Structure 1
């Protein structure tokens, strides 16, 4: 059993790791044709465990030790143990019972979706994340039109491969010589889906959850009052392209379900890039950066004002391709461009925006409620490898001789005074918010992950330790920090939190920052090793669903859903201790709300 747990941990920790694949472009329509159907393992994936309450309380208290003085910690410890023996025990038992009645999913799925979709803050900076692509190694392919065409074609290939069930399942192979072979794949495909995970487990292979992948395409987060909705229309065949704040759509899939020829896609994109239409006086893109309730009311106004068909085109598009009319100056500029851009040339509610700048720099900005980085990273890696390995067009390619003026539709929106005022206000809010963001960087050239691995310490642990040291140096204190860890080794797993601040990082940071001369090099190195080992334990626990954040979040969600039974949780108190139930609610809120 212990061995199985260790192997599961390794599989979970590898959930977000980049992976390679073979068999690019088996046809023009698909990236490859997997022997094993894409969702073959999904039905038999193990379920996300609910930690023991006593383990959650212990882990929570361990995370508080570096943050509190002795008196504060004693009060927190007393409060935590009262919670464990009292209302916390009741809530935990209810959560376990509820989980046993919903074995088709995980205990965190419903609350986690609701947490994202009920949040009223703008998605920009608060939720949407970005990933950037490396440049194409062949410099002549980093032309905006060429790269946009190649990446669009590769993205459509990915979509078609996934929907046909040909996309290779996401599997972590501990012994690839046994499990990542043609023979094993030919055998495992005949094992029933209800047992397939166990068949993979027998040869140390660990399939990962792929339930989020279908939301990659034709999906949009729709603003609604008090809680948004996720919308997906897999029948739509068109691409949404934004340029200079203008909206364009054209079909990339024909009526028979086949992808348009790359030369035709290239021709349509060339037509859009040659359009000299100025930025609209009231760019609609800003609305998707607004407070969600404000945006919901403005969207209703848009619908009532005759824009239903145009909005349907936006919402149902396969994805959004944003073509920016400027080159990227440096990595700081790249971060700003991909994380938020100018607000006019993005539709932040789409499942993702594929962004390509004038010099061919590319990245993805993705809406976070529908899924996590695992699916997006797989998509990014596959698109990059396919677009550079089997590019659909080259610098010598000629766009097809087609009438793009008929194929490409420019969307027009009818705006009344209230909508114009709403867009103006949204732009002001966007600009004010973006101005609060500072991004800066230095590139450290004297070492990296290879050096750290040689010293047998985790690069991730050292990076987290560096954050602790930097904050201590600047603010003279240790604070709680958050690192996300995928739980994709389990059915409908999302993420668990790693809390890198520990008594080990605090001790090590203070030694380096406050009194380095009092310690020998060997002593300092030993402290780093201790930090690395402890961080490794936290990571393994989190990957196995054995953190404390998600458990406490689930308990808090349950408590709030039964608020009528816990009237004290509604009361506000300026007293540091507060009443007992009040303080327990604060404990849940403090530890359970994701960073």
Structure 2
């Protein structure tokens, strides 16, 4: 998402000339920054970056509040795609009045609030609150999953070996992060030129307050450090249910991890008293001990509570605390992360999605910041709670753990499991439950079964062409995927609807995401040209329509990643108005505003060589949740929906036809058009 956007950030560096003065001085003096770590064995660290992990954090630019006029213009432009001319004219009048009156006041108040909170971004708190105040179950409504590709070495594809190696890699990531020697997140536009030791050595010489500017200067605006503030809640963290609004709990001093199997909870220390990683063989022995525990599932599995309505779960938690279960719950809440050892293998992509997106509910604790889920044949995924952070932090962890656990295995098929006295080291957690709590578990299970039973899903693997083919035509691969989605929905329903594509704003301090409104007048025009009258249009005209879509999509991506979309700005203004009981503004009462924010097509790209499949549920009952990837060897879609309002299999069929149509357009264009 950031590739086409960050090029323009340098124009906003007011202090870049100061960084250059420092850089010139540093190059002359050859001064060196000093870094250190506490004592520890080299094997315990995933990386030893010469640039501290948090080195760029203080110098990151702040997310600017967009101009109100630009936000209103962009809002109306998106509305034009889904409204009739008469509806759009009515919305335009309301929007213009808002811009001139109430919006002007709210904009001033938002700027005052932003000026008083320079340590963060204007959207950070309201975005956290949006998640934490929702009373919906976090299962399906918020938690997504990403599934790892198989270990390339077949002999390591066992639940015991892969679990152990992924635990070790996770701990190596954790240790590197906390020792401040994990490589900082930097987006490299030209990694072949800037992702190297020369860049790192230069950056570490620049004073912290100019570090971001120095990175831009040295890379000639080709390397952009990213916000890493969310990493603090990656480990030892849980979302705690509270009436009205949930809270986060993070305890970085805890040294144990949580393992779930067959609905039972187990904890054991994976870091010793000095903070060192326990031996891989000992961890392997504890995992084997748990795998060999063949007791039946508990009669009342508490994992179902975490899939409940948040107020109901908060009430159940209060009952659990009143029954004396506080210390036991605390061991779950403060665990480094959860490992869920499932007893079921899944080979069909649809079954894999069901298992990793929601499972049976019994062997999950959905509130944990993230859970590693592992099947007996070593298929693995990360399912994560979304309130604390976005895909940037989780995907970094995901990619690093995959790479390390498949290249630097610490236990092997020949590793002998030692006698590590797991009987005393591994604790199986037990709860005191009264009749009311037992009834609550049964109710929560019934609600969970009803919820996940309402979900339908299907997938598409497509290989007629790939990312390289599209790029050779000088068209954005992501724009083609988004156009295919528009065409599929139009083919199925003969209308255009609100569409959401997630775009990170991690290039700014405490950035979260911005909505990329990928349904545009250009995609509408191209869709109608291809679907309604493709055989009447010339190949060159059709191809030109694709190029126009690509250019518009590129501009939208750039603006969204730079925080110049309209969604988060309007969201912040509306939140501010609600908090101050200020309700005369007609724009937020306009049915068109509700329509645009009723996201029928919720989309997100999952492009990583470590990801084989990923997904999430729709955000509205009549919508689709669309995870997709376009790689050098494949195109993949993983789509969810809630019938009978939607038909996911029909949608997948329409997607396939649309991808074929786009292939024909790109293939038939004259050399002049595609040059």
TM-score range, shorter chain: over 0.9
Taking structure 1 as reference, are residues 104 and 327 closer, same or farther at Cα in structure 2, changes over 3 Å only? same
2:589 match: 583
2:187 match: 172
Matches of 1:487 and 1:246 in 2, distance apart? 39
Q: 1:365 aligned to 2:383? A: yes
Contact 2:5 2:561 in 1 (8 A): no
Matches of 2:10 and 2:410 in 1, distance apart? 39
1:34 match: 49
1:517: Cα distance to partner?
1.8
1:81: Cα distance to partner?
0.6
Q: 1:146 aligned to 2:147? A: no
Contact 2:202 2:218 in 1 (8 A): no
User: Which of 293, 302, 326 is equivalent to 1:308?
Assistant: 326
2:67 match: 52
Matches of 1:224 and 1:10 in 2, distance apart? 44
User: Which of 200, 204, 208 is equivalent to 1:185?
Assistant: 200
User: Which of 460, 466, 487 is equivalent to 2:478?
Assistant: 460
Matches of 2:56 and 2:71 in 1, distance apart? 30
Taking structure 1 as reference, are residues 592 and 518 closer, same or farther at Cα in structure 2, changes over 3 Å only? closer
SS of equivalent to 1:225: coil
Q: Deviations over 1:136-174 (max 9, x none)?
A: 000111111000000011001100110000100011234
SS of equivalent to 2:88: helix
User: Which of 409, 423, 436 is equivalent to 1:391?
Assistant: 409
Matches of 1:412 and 1:403 in 2, distance apart? 20
Contact 1:220 1:350 in 2 (8 A): yes
TM-score, length-normalised on structure 2?
Answer: 0.81
TM-score, length-normalised on structure 1?
Answer: 0.92
Q: Deviations over 1:61-86 (max 9, x none)?
A: 11011101111111011111111111
Contact 2:370 2:382 in 1 (8 A): yes
Equivalence map 1:183-222=2 (5 Å): 183-204=198-219, 205-222=223-240
Q: Deviations over 1:16-66 (max 9, x none)?
A: xxxxxxxxx992100010001000000000001111111101111110111
Contact 1:178 1:203 in 2 (8 A): no
2:7 match: 6
Contact 1:26 1:32 in 2 (8 A): no
Q: Which runs of 5+ in 2 are unaligned?
A: 13-39, 600-618, 620-675
SS of equivalent to 2:248: strand
Contact 1:553 1:592 in 2 (8 A): no
Contact 1:324 1:355 in 2 (8 A): yes
2:104 match: 89
Matches of 1:9 and 1:125 in 2, distance apart? 39
Matches of 1:275 and 1:242 in 2, distance apart? 11
1:241 match: 259
Segment of structure 1 superposing worse, 291-300 or 445-454 = 445-454
1:4: Cα distance to partner?
11
Q: Which runs of 5+ in 1 are unaligned?
A: 12-24, 570-579
Contact 1:285 1:343 in 2 (8 A): yes
1:523: Cα distance to partner?
2.0
User: Which of 107, 130, 141 is equivalent to 2:145?
Assistant: 130
1:376: Cα distance to partner?
0.2
1:478 match: 496
Matches of 2:140 and 2:295 in 1, distance apart? 29
Q: Deviations over 1:464-497 (max 9, x none)?
A: 1111111111111110110000000000000000
Contact 1:129 1:366 in 2 (8 A): yes
Matches of 2:199 and 2:88 in 1, distance apart? 53
1:333: Cα distance to partner?
1.4
Q: 1:77 aligned to 2:92? A: yes
User: Which of 446, 450, 460 is equivalent to 1:428?
Assistant: 446
